[in-house]
């Protein structure tokens, strides 16, 4: 298969959301001696762009985005070590630490946002559920986070979002770390009251807000 | 004070065949037995294990034999009553009655007088409960909005007291999610009922817990449910499995996932306290394909509303079904479509309790206008549920003979006897066009006026002051314990 043909099927594996196929094609590209960065930028990224276009005009839906994100992740997993071996890194839009507030184990919204942010080019560190403010702080410090995202589904655990902001302030990290909050009971007013930097009702909105906060141009 | 109950609805709907229900049941047992359900509670896992479940203590997943689930469910009482503080407002969960309750738990309120949106407080809980107390369409309370000006560890108890303080109707709370709160709520309810035994006989409080789709429970909710079941309070578990996100995209698959969550929790209650009153609760939906949001309305919801009752009937337990609860941002076309279809579908399969009156935006925003409008939708559904009565008197042959071709029935005695059986609107605009043109007002304005009048004028007698102090004391001890 020519490189052009290979790039075309790589893109297709993202559009169709087939992680195993994407992984196989990534290996094939390396076997053919294609540079990993070229495989990403000319093979897989056009697929992501196509999915974004399809979603934007209503031909594709959220599950398509999530599947595309999973396929991209599978391809990157193969290509990234090769990049590193060559002393190169894939450009990241920013580093994000996410988790659900202390006492809250509802994670689907948070997971969705993690997938969307990663698929959009952010480096995502997911702390999982029931995360203490101290754990958010520790991780944010360790990975030098640009953004911390705290999710809560309950009116009671929502208060934990404020605690995370306070803990970041106390740790002296607040000037460098933007805080994103979300979850069913969370409103714009609440986000403003607790001093969060960003708020979104859905996962795609969260990506937009994250880009705005880091002053990244929107595509 | 009366309650506008739907009794023995004549309208019915065939939604699932017997064979289809069995297929769903067997698929559910397969899931519970082979995939398992997560119960993050040592107490629950011990009980399940003692009843034959294979328990993984690291993942908290219990794989429960289908036979153990069936044997446990068979112990659940098929009928019982939800007591009210005023016995004339008791609710019979006997498969022949359908009652409407309020929605919960919202986080914002549209002020009835200014229309401004604000974050909900304890005062809003009290005001909404007063309005629900006034409306005969509302048979029981849910905690309508969250008292966000009270501490999280005792908030549900403040809410409970606020409702009891303005209404004698039954309260079903969905905001008690820890064992500590549940034990305090039992103590409070017993103080009002006149002791634990009286409370067991006449449970003025029932408890509603949410499952965590797919196939998981919340540890706090499970332990709160066990504490309530121990005291004889009716306990229900609600699935909100959402097609394509927290459940399969297909409706049947979604029913299987939700059913596994609910019946595994109900079976646990029966294993722990055989014969305790339990109920099935559900509010499944389909994810919005564009945003991933829980939709609160749409054809899938309406089908679930009908199908779930068939499942609850199969297990011979009452159903508390999420209806109403539109996804609309304000009262209007969308809310009318959502709330009419959802309530009609659930009523036409004989759900015992319907939830959801009064909230907008997928149960997030309380609107007093919406509550009044929902009461009117309920009155339409109630009138429809009576169906068409056919007998000698209603066939009206004598009247037809008297009037004959070309006459009219306006002044006939038969008309006088029966005209008040016809439904009369309070919010539908049936005026002449010219009358409408003068002010161009309608349902929203009239609902607002009615809501304002109720909030101004309806002030039920509060609880005895000594009793209130005793209840406050219980709440204070919970707060002290949490410190």
State whether A184 and B246 contact (CB < 8 Å): no
The residues, ordered by sequence, that sit 6+ positions from B289 with a Cβ below 8 Å of its Cβ are: A61, A62, A63, B244
pLDDT reported for residue A217: 82
> Smallest Cα–Cα separation from B258: which of B66, B18, B22, B31?
B31
Quote the pLDDT of residue B176: 96
A61/B contact by beta carbon, under 8 A:
yes
Note the pLDDT tens digit of each residue in A137-193.
Answer: 999 999 999 999 999 998 889 999 999 999 999 999 999 999 999 998 999 999 999
Q: Residue A98: beta bridge partners?
A: A126, A149
> Which of A106, A184, A189 is the closest to B212 by Cβ?
A106
Residue corresponding to tokens 């929605």:
B103
**A112 and B CB contact within 8 Å:** yes
Contact A63 B289 (CB under 8 A): yes
Question: Measured between CB atoms, which of A63, A187, A203 is closest to B107?
Answer: A187
Contacting residues of A for B177, CB less than 8 Å apart = 154, 156
Contact B341, B296 (CB under 8 A): no
How do strand B97-102 and strand B80-82 relate by DSSP bridges?
unpaired
Report yes or no: A109 at the B interface, CB cutoff 8 Å.
yes
Say what the pLDDT of residue A152 is. 95
User: What span, in angstroms and rounded, lies between the C-alpha atoms of B349 and B12?
Assistant: 6
Minimal Cβ distance to A62: which of B175, B177, B290? B290
Q: Is ipTM strictly over 0.90? A: no
Nearest to B261 by CA among B287, B301, B225: B225
- Say which residue the tokens 């203590």 belong to: B57
The C-alpha atoms of residue A178 and residue A188 are separated, in whole angstroms, by 16
A56 touches chain B (CB under 8 A): no
From the list B371, B351, B390, B347, the residue with the least C-alpha distance to B458 is B371
* Tokens representing residue B151 in the block: 């501490």
d(CA A179, CA A17): 31
- Say if the Cβ atoms of A190 and B119 lie within 8 Å: yes
Q: Does A16 touch chain B (CB under 8 A)?
A: no
Give the global pTM: 0.93
CB A23 within 8 Å of CB A58: no
Comparing CB atoms, the residue among B245, B291, B362 nearest residue A108 is B245
Residues of A in contact with B218 (CB under 8 A): 105
- The whole-angstrom separation of Cα B156 and Cα B147 is 8
- Indicate the pairing of strand B117-119 with strand B108-110: antiparallel
Q: Report, as ranges of residue numbers, the positions in chain B whose pLDDT lies below 70.
A: none
* Cβ separation A159–B152 shorter than 8 A: yes
CB contact under 8 Å between B105 and A155, yes or no, is: yes
SS3 assignment, position A90:
coil
Q: Which residues of B touch A185 (CB under 8 A)?
A: 107, 146, 364
Cα distance between residue B109 and residue B132, in whole Å: 15
What's A43's DSSP letter? I
C-alpha of A197 from chain center: 18
Report the C-alpha gap between B197 and B217 in whole angstroms: 30
Pick from B323, B327, B326: which is nearest to B304 by CA?
Answer: B323
Burial B67-83 (b: 16+ CB within 10 A, else e): ebbebbbeebeeebbbb
Residues of chain B with a CB closer than 8 angstroms to some CB in chain A: 40, 105, 107-108, 119, 146, 148, 152-153, 155, 175, 177, 212, 218, 244-246, 249, 287, 289-294, 362, 364
Q: Counting every residue, how long is chain B?
A: 483
Inter-chain CB pairs, A–B, below 8 Å: 54
Contacts of B294 in chain A (CB under 8 A): 184
Question: CA angle B112-B118-B123, nearest 5°?
Answer: 70
One digit per residue, pLDDT tens: chain A, 219 residues?
888 999 999 999 999 999 999 999 999 999 999 999 999 999 999 998 899 889 888 899 989 988 999 999 999 999 999 998 998 888 889 999 999 999 998 888 898 899 889 888 899 999 999 999 999 999 999 999 999 999 999 888 999 999 999 999 999 999 999 999 999 899 999 999 999 999 998 888 899 999 999 998 875
Q: Is A182's Cβ below 8 Å from some Cβ in B? A: no
CA distance B416 to chain A (A): 52
Give CA–CA dist A143/A136, Å, rounded.
11
Contact A105 B212 (CB under 8 A): yes
A residues 87-106 near B, CB within 8 Å? Answer: 105-106
* Residue A134 CB-half CA count within 13 A: 0
Query: Which residues from B are below 8 Å from A62, CB to CB?
Result: 244, 287, 289-292
Listed in sequence order, the residues at least 6 apart from A163 whose beta carbon sits closer than 8 Å to its beta carbon are A101, A102, A133
């Amino acid at each position: 298969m020519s490189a052009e043909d290979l790039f075309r099927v790589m893109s297709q594996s993202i559009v169709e959301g087939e992680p195993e196929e994407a992984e196989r094609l990534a290996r094939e590209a390396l076997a053919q001696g294609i540079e990993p960065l070229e495989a990403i930028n000319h093979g897989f990224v056009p697929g992501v762009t196509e999915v974004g276009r399809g979603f934007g005009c209503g031909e594709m839906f959220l599950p398509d985005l999530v599947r595309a994100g999973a396929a991209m992740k599978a391809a990157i997993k193969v290509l990234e070590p090769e990049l590193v071996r060559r002393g190169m890194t894939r450009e990241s839009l920013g580093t994000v630490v996410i988790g659900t507030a202390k006492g809250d184990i509802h994670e689907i919204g948070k997971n969705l946002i993690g997938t969307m942010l990663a698929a959009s080019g952010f480096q995502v560190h997911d702390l999982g559920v029931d995360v203490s403010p101290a754990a958010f702080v520790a991780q944010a410090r360790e990975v030098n986070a640009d953004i911390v995202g705290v999710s809560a589904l309950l009116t009671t655990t929502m208060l934990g979002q404020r605690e995370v902001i306070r803990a970041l302030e106390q740790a002296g990290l607040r000037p460098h770390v933007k805080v994103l909050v979300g979850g069913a009971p969370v409103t714009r007013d609440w986000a403003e009251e607790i001093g969060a930097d960003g708020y979104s009702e859905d996962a795609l909105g969260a990506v937009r807000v994250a880009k705005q906060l880091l002053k990244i141009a929107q595509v | 004070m009366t309650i506008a109950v739907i009794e023995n609805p004549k309208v019915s709907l065939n939604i699932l065949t017997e064979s289809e229900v069995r297929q769903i049941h067997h698929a559910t047992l397969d899931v519970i037995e082979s995939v398992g359900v997560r119960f993050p509670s040592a107490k629950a896992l011990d009980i399940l294990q003692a009843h034959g479940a294979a328990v993984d203590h690291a993942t908290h997943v219990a794989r429960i034999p289908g036979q153990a689930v069936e044997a446990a469910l068979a112990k659940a009482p098929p009928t019982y009553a939800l007591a009210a503080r005023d016995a004339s407002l008791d609710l019979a969960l006997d498969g022949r009655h359908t009652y409407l309750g309020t929605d919960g738990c919202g986080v914002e309120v549209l002020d009835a007088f200014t229309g401004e949106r604000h974050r909900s407080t304890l005062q809003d809980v009290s005001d909404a409960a007063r309005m629900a107390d006034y409306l005969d369409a509302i048979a029981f309370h849910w905690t309508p909005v969250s008292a966000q000006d009270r501490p999280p560890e005792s908030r549900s108890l403040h809410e409970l007291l606020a409702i009891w303080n303005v209404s004698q109707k039954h309260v079903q709370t969905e905001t008690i999610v820890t064992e500590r709160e549940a034990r305090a709520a039992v103590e409070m309810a017993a103080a009002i009922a006149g002791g634990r035994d009286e409370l067991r006989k006449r449970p003025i409080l029932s408890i509603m817990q949410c499952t965590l789709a797919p196939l998981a429970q919340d540890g706090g909710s499970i332990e709160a449910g066990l504490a309530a079941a121990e005291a004889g309070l009716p306990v229900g578990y609600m699935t909100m499995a959402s097609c394509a996100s927290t459940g399969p995209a297909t409706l049947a698959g979604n029913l299987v996932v939700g059913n596994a969550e609910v019946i595994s929790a109900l079976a646990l209650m029966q294993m722990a306290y055989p014969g305790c009153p339990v109920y099935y609760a559900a509010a499944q939906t389909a994810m919005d394909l564009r945003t991933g949001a829980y939709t609160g309305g749409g054809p899938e919801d309406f089908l679930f509303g009908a199908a779930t009752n068939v499942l609850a009937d199969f297990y011979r337990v009452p159903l508390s079904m999420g209806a109403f609860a539109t996804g609309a941002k304000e009262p209007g076309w969308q809310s009318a479509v959502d709330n009419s279809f959802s309530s009609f579908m659930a009523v036409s399969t004989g759900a015992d309790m319907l939830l959801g009156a009064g909230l907008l935006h997928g149960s997030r925003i309380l609107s007093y206008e919406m509550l009044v409008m929902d009461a009117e939708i309920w009155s339409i559904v109630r009138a429809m549920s009576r169906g068409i009565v056919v007998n000698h008197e209603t066939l009206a042959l004598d009247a037809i003979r008297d009037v004959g071709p070309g006459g009219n029935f306006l002044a006939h005695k038969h008309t006088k006897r029966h005209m008040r059986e016809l439904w009369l609107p309070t919010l539908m605009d049936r005026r002449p066009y010219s009358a409408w043109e003068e002010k161009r007002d309608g349902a929203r304005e009239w609902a607002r006026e009615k809501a304002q009048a109720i909030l101004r004028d309806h002030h039920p007698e509060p609880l005895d002051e000594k009793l209130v102090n005793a209840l406050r004391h219980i709440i204070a001890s919970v707060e002290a314990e949490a410190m």
